[in-house]
Amino acid sequence: MTNFDVHLDDSSIKDFWRDGFVVLHDVINPNLVLSMEEPIKRAVADSSTDLSELGSIIAPTSTLSDPNVPSSECSGRFVAGTDHWINDRDFADFACKSVIPQIVAQILQSDSVWLYEDSVLVKEPKTAEETVFHQDLSYFHVSGEQICTVWVPLDFSSPDTGAIRFVRGSHKDLTSYRPNWFVSDEPLPNTEGERVPQIPSKAVAAPTLSPGDLTIHHARTLHGASANRSTDQSRRAISIRYCGDDARYHIREGAPLKPHHETVSNGDILTHEHCPKVWPRT
């Protein structure tokens, strides 16, 4: 029997499987979360050169600001990148050695957990771009039920300041939705599936979060995030994607590939060094 430092109650596990997401308040030491401020600054400083190499699919924000909002009120950038853990020890420790993998093992009800990727997602103050609704699974070259994303905010985040939001129960819909450009609902070229439909606002849950809280959503759950209307507060988040026992490689036409995906076949278990086992701890 694996020993857990953090014991989640059954209701959190039930919430995840019923709603497709769970909100966990005060589950991780806020000082640990805030210790990622400097690594995030490094990642953002590198982003002008690294985004394309890292396979970011964020479209350039300058072309996307809401035409109905005066430009003085939408001067912020939405900066994002992926796979920071591969070259930065702080990100690797956070994704692989913190309390997060064991929380994920409990939520996914999985004996083992593998890291799929991490990402940094910063919406500066006055960022007009919303993160449009999408389904993570359509970007991932894996399939299975035990696949999730953990979203860890470094700032207070509310619907006014760029909080993540979820379409309750949407993980039960087995439709494959085409991946989009994240800030535009235009699907990525050559991808398979349906376009993400219009989402009625009453289906959306938008939690308010502080450092120390996190959310976990199922890879099929439709989700997005609001604009950051704050004039002085960034919305910084680290998002980490994990797989459990039943996940297998499944290459999806048109979705961004990582180099090691060229070396795997559909149905393979996740054994690659760029998809390391992070739970149980070795």
Q: To the nearest whole angstrom, how small is the minimum distance from the Cβ of residue 112 to ligand AKG?
A: 22
Strands 113-123 and 277-279: antiparallel
CB atoms within 10 A of CB 269: 15
CB-wise, 23 or 273, nearer to ligand AKG? 23
Q: What distance in Å separates the CA atoms of residue 183 and residue 121, rounded to the nearest whole number?
A: 12
Q: Where are the beta strands (DSSP E) in the chain?
A: 21-24, 78-82, 113-123, 131-135, 142-143, 147-153, 164-167, 204-205, 214-218, 222-225, 235-243, 248-249, 277-279
Q: To the nearest whole angstrom, how small is the minimum distance from the Cβ of residue 16 to ligand AKG?
A: 15
CB-wise, 121 or 196, nearer to ligand AKG? 121
CB-wise, 173 or 269, nearer to ligand AKG? 173
CB-wise, 15 or 136, nearer to ligand AKG? 136
Q: To the nearest whole angstrom, how small is the minimum distance from the Cβ of residue 207 to ligand AKG?
A: 13
| DSSP secondary structure letter of residue 210 | -
Q: Kindly give the interhelix angle for 100-108 and 89-96, rounded to the nearest 10 degrees.
A: 40
Q: To the nearest whole angstrom, how small is the minimum distance from the Cβ of residue 134 to ligand AKG?
A: 7
Q: What distance in Å separates the CA atoms of residue 27 and residue 211, rounded to the nearest whole number?
A: 10
Q: To the nearest whole angstrom, how small is the minimum distance from the Cβ of residue 157 to ligand AKG?
A: 9
CB-wise, 159 or 269, nearer to ligand AKG? 159
DSSP 3-state of 180: strand
For ligand AKG, the binding residues (CB under 6 A) are: 121, 131, 136, 149, 151, 164, 223, 225, 237, 239
Q: To the nearest whole angstrom, how small is the minimum distance from the Cβ of residue 14 to ligand AKG?
A: 22
CB-wise, 102 or 239, nearer to ligand AKG? 239
The set of residues, in sequence order, having a beta carbon less than 8 Å from that of 124 and lying 6+ positions away, is 76, 77, 78, 79, 228, 234
Classify each residue of 233-268 as buried b or exposed e, where b means 16 or more C-beta atoms within 10 Å of its C-beta: bbbbbbbbbbbbbebebbebebbbebeebeebeeee
Q: To the nearest whole angstrom, how small is the minimum distance from the Cβ of residue 118 to ligand AKG?
A: 10
Task: Give me the half-sphere count of Cα atoms (radius 13 Å) on the Cβ side of residue 95.
Answer: 34
Q: How far is CA 57 from CA 53, 189, 194, 274, in A?
A: 11, 12, 19, 19
CB-wise, 203 or 263, nearer to ligand AKG? 203
